[in-house]
Chain A
Amino acid sequence: ETGVTQSPTHLIKTRGQQVTLRCSSQSGHNTVSWYQQALGQGPQFIFQYYREEENGRGNFPPRFSGLQFPNYSSELNVNALELDDSALYLCASSPRASGGPLSYEQYFGPGTRLTVT
């Protein structure tokens, strides 16, 4: 069974640029969530995708956007990068059924370390 994979591992961008991060969910999982983890902090929820639609969003501005594809993989796009966007971006997948509670655990990938200079 393949776990959650993310690419790239590390990325350096300049303020104002745009970035796309990618995530492949664990086999059999239909829901993907994205989190931002600043240095020394806990992860913060960005949004979740289920059946290719956004299924919930945290307190992040619209320049953070995403996609989910029919194979359940996902992308996180960030426009107009700011210095504070420097963080570890974590993708998590889960086998959540439609409308079900989050009693299913979320399985995390290794993350993409984004540095904005």
Chain B
Amino acid sequence: GDSVTQMEGPVTLSEEAFLTINCTYTATGYPSLFWYVQYPGEGLQLLLKATKADDKGSNKGFEATYRKETTSFHLEKGSVQVSDSAVYFCALSDQAGTALIFGKGTTLSVSS
């Protein structure tokens, strides 16, 4: 079945460092891809999305490109801030277009 694999964390960075969180997927067809962020004690917030191959999603300095050839959707940010500390989830829409299938999440901790 469809699945998402994220790099294991925690990822610990200093402020202004470059961030990459790897995400690869297995899916039948052409799913939409998403990154969600979860701050401590809160629900999930959509960070960005891409709906077809080569699309680049971007928001708040974060970017991810839908790479069909490598089945990847890596999250990047050029300069992280302490306020970016959170858990990041990569997700795809299932074949029926009903459910989101999530990875296990990657914890990011940014120190000043």
Chain A interfacial positions (CB closer than 8 Å to B): 4, 33, 35, 40-45, 48, 55-56, 58, 90, 92, 100-103, 105-111
How far is the CB of A88 from the nearest CB of chain B, in Å?
8
Can you list 21 contacts pairing A with B, beta carbon distance less than 8 Å? A4-B43, A33-B100, A40-B105, A41-B104, A41-B105, A42-B4, A42-B91, A42-B105, A43-B102, A45-B94, A45-B98, A45-B100, A58-B99, A100-B97, A101-B32, A101-B97, A102-B93, A102-B98, A103-B32, A106-B100, A110-B42
Q: At the interface, is chain A mostly helix, strand, loop or mixed?
A: loop
Segment at the interface with A among B13-21, B44-52, B65-73? B44-52
Q: Return chain B residues, CB-CB under 8 Å to A41.
A: 104-105
What's the tally of chain B residues with a CB closer than 8 Å to chain A? Answer: 25
Residues in A whose Cβ lies below 8 Å from that of B105: 40-42
Chain B residues with CB under 8 Å of A33's CB are 98-100
